[in-house]
Amino acid sequence: MVYLDNAATTRPFDEVTELVGKVMRQDFANPSSLHHLGIQAEEHLEKARQILADALQSTTGEIYFTSGGTETNNMVIKGAARAHQRKGKHIITSAIEHKSVLETCQALEREGYEVTRLPVDSNGMINLASFEESLRDDTILVSIMHVNNETGVIQPIDRVNEILRDRHARPLFHVDAVQSFGKTPLHPHPSGIDLLTLSSHKVHGPKGTGALFRKQGVNLTPLLDGGAQEGGLRSGTENLPGIAGFGKAVQMNFNDVFEKQLHMGHLRNRLRKKITDAFEDVVVNTPDDPQAAPHILNVSFPGLQGEVLLRKLESAGIYVSTGSACTSGKNKPSHVLQAMGRTRDVVQGALRFSFSIMNSEEETDQVMEHLVPAVKRMRKMMG
Ligand SMILES: Cc1ncc(COP(=O)(O)O)c(C=O)c1O
């Protein structure tokens, strides 16, 4: 099996699955319980919180555990909108965000908020001048993703911060860092980020676990009412095995993190070169370094169906994606490639290869062994 769908999800590290099992078997108590089993359970929670705080160069008081990236994005956008509506009802985001941001913004529009979706250029980058122009006195939140999940393009987070820093009524700044965590360096404090979203299953941790970084003092209205766990921001008994596993995964990712990023970037560049050498008319949707994260390569074969190519590769044991797995179950045309101005042919012919530290050079060779004849055969069939 060649698994190259790591932007959809990653295989958990063995150490993670072992720890998850151990916590479920032995440390199953409720971390809020006062007895010593509860305290033992709480230690896992606080250890994971410390690991995340260290990875983000923040403090443990700024880390809150959730059920994943989707929940954190909802919690931030709805929570900030509700907490700050007296200051204004305008939100800025980009056209290429993950659906958990775009759909949440749409839900707020139905409640009377106004949303500006920044367009992107052919590389998928927002335009900073248009961003500055879109800022208003009643803008309460700016939500821009760091790395895009379909193409790997990196948004200029520090430049956005520089523009926001000079505003007298500065809106809150949220960054969806689900795809960049461990892949492309980002530290919320120096980058002026108030709120940041993380997800465990993109970094070899368990699914259904995520986190929010919230800068001290930033006000959010909680989505859930209940037992006031996680500092009152996220009620509900914590997913202790998942959180412990998330902590372990982050610890392992951030051990020699730079070498890991170089490895993924090397595989991505190697496959990109092989594909562009082999196919004259291929369209590369992932920009060149340093504008892209190391783990994603999105290419289009105009005139072919990405999904048919995906099936051909699958029959050879190679697993890739046509775009965003979270939406591609429905196989809708990619809103990201459309926003980048790609033609219908190019959008339909897109394939995403996404790497992790578990992949090897040989696997990129295996891809080419099957991709080249598959494309040739499909082209021949189409005349
Ligand atoms: C950029 C981005 N944000 C948010 C999410 C949602 O995260 P989760 O699957 O943990 O809900 C994803 C998942 O694909 C993503 O790629």
Which tens digits make up the pLDDT trace of 154-177? 999 999 999 999 898 899 999 999
Q: Which of 75-79, 323-327, 329-333 has the lowest mean pLDDT?
A: 323-327
Round the average pLDDT of the chain to a whole number and report it.
96
pTM of the model: 0.97
Confidence of residue 329 (pLDDT cuts 50, 70, 90): low
Domains in the chain, number: 2
242 and 311 fall within a common domain: no
**CATH number for position 330:** 3.90.1150.10
**Of 200, 225, 253, which residue sits at a domain end?**
253
197 and 281 fall within a common domain: no
148 and 42 fall within a common domain: yes
* Residue showing tokens 């359970």: 41
Tell me: cis bond preceding 188? Omega within 30 of 0 counts.
no
Instruction: Report, as an integer, the average pLDDT of 258-264.
Output: 97
Residue 196 belongs to what H/E stretch? Answer: strand 195-199
203 and 345 fall within a common domain: no
pLDDT of residue 340: 98
Task: For residue 343, give the nearest of 285, 294, 257 by alpha carbon.
Answer: 285
* Nearest CA residue ID for atom 5, ligand 1: 69
For residue 331, pLDDT over 90 is answered with: no
> pLDDT (tens digit, 9 = 90+) per residue, 184-209?
999 999 999 999 999 999 999 999 99
For residue 326, pLDDT over 60 is answered with: no
Instruction: Report, as an integer, the average pLDDT of 86-108.
Output: 98
236 and 365 fall within a common domain: no
Ligand 1 midpoint to CA 362 (Å): 29
**CATH number for position 179:** 3.40.640.10
182 and 199 fall within a common domain: yes
**Of 253, 286, 318, which residue sits at a domain end?**
253
- Looking at this protein, which amino acid is placed at residue 62? E
For residue 325, pLDDT over 70 is answered with: no
Among residues 83, 325, 326, 372, the one annotated as catalytic is 326
Task: For residue 252, give the nearest of 87, 10, 77, 2 by alpha carbon.
Answer: 10
174 and 322 fall within a common domain: no
**Of 235, 253, 271, which residue sits at a domain end?**
253
Q: Is the CB of 242 under 6 A from ligand 1?
A: no
> Quick one: tokens of 251?
């610890």
Residue range(s) defining the domain that contains residue 176: 14-253
